[in-house]
Homo-oligomer: A and B are copies of this chain.
């Protein structure tokens, strides 16, 4: 089969379509003929050596895909079924082996390309907001980077769960977008200190900044508040004041999706299908497919994603 291979580990754009072996199925896995593969920031990090595949996972890029089942292996799935796939790797290829717990139906009204664009963000947002934070009606959540891919999706899921949503973003344009998606409190972090506006009021914070925001985030949390860190664009090392944690019983959690075990992923996928897929199908949550590129042009797609001009997900088509 054909797949994208990084020919020079030192050169992150050296992504070429090469002939490689079709993956062998392990027990409980199906072979999916890929029609579309989502492009994620994790893929770019992987080309820079910063986000290696977990042990046993494919070395090929690609954390989400959609297509049809070509070989059901020892599972009861039917060959020809259209599916979305949450992957530990391997999506930038004609075929990918997928543990059956990581298969998702195509949401009603969605194309296969649109499905490939929504699996990773859907599972990421559900695992953090739904499973880890247990976000519910009457709570307030602060979402940093409200204008980004995870942010725009998280705003809508949080609103659908009945929460009040505060966001930070760096431009009026992004904040306008957040407002359209339902965000209640809009903060331009370049102009205002979000702590002043939110001090002690947030039940949950979804954070992509890390160290730079740690102290500020802790000040924004209410009693029993939970800070979930899913990215560290603002560095990894910070001073923490544990004395501020105990009286308010704060929790800080760092999470990733890729390195979870099969059981965890199956639970997250099932929860996402049960809770987020209906939100996509009835339009409560919208997610844009920004553009498609032929698989061979993966490098251009990475350059486009790096530009910061992308407002939805990029998809590679096979």
Binding site for B on A (CB under 8 A): 210-211, 214, 223, 229-230, 232, 236-256, 259-260
Closest B residue to A238 by CB, please name it: B240
Bound complex: CA of A214 vs CA of B251, how far in Å? 14
- Label chain A's interface by main secondary structure: mixed
Partner pick for A246 among B232, B237, B241, B250, CB 8 A cutoff: B232
Given contacts A247-B259, A259-B247, contact A229 B252 (CB under 8 A): no
Bound complex: CA of A247 vs CA of B53, how far in Å? 12
- Quote the shortest CB–CB distance from A244 to chain B (angstroms): 8
- Taking a contact as CB atoms under 8 Å apart, the answer to whether B214 and A242 are in contact is yes
Residues of B with C-beta under 8 A to A240: 214, 237-240
Query: What is the total number of copies of this protein in its complex?
Result: 2
Residues of B with C-beta under 8 A to A211: 242
Residues of B with C-beta under 8 A to A223: 259
Given contacts A239-B239, A240-B237, contact A249 B256 (CB under 8 A): yes
Residues of B with C-beta under 8 A to A244: 236
Bound complex: CA of A230 vs CA of B237, how far in Å? 23
- Taking a contact as CB atoms under 8 Å apart, the answer to whether A251 and B249 are in contact is no
Closest B residue to A211 by CB, please name it: B242
Bound complex: CA of A223 vs CA of B246, how far in Å? 23
Residues of B with C-beta under 8 A to A210: 242-243
- Taking a contact as CB atoms under 8 Å apart, the answer to whether B259 and A254 are in contact is no
Partner pick for A243 among B214, B236, B248, B255, CB 8 A cutoff: B236
Bound complex: CA of A237 vs CA of B245, how far in Å? 11
Residues of B with C-beta under 8 A to A253: 245, 249-252
Given contacts A229-B246, A251-B254, 6 further A-B contacts (CB under 8 A): A214-B242, A232-B246, A236-B243, A246-B254, A247-B256, A249-B256
- The 12 sampled A-B contact pairs (Cβ below 8 Å) are A211-B242, A214-B242, A223-B259, A229-B245, A236-B241, A245-B254, A249-B253, A249-B256, A249-B259, A250-B253, A251-B253, A252-B253
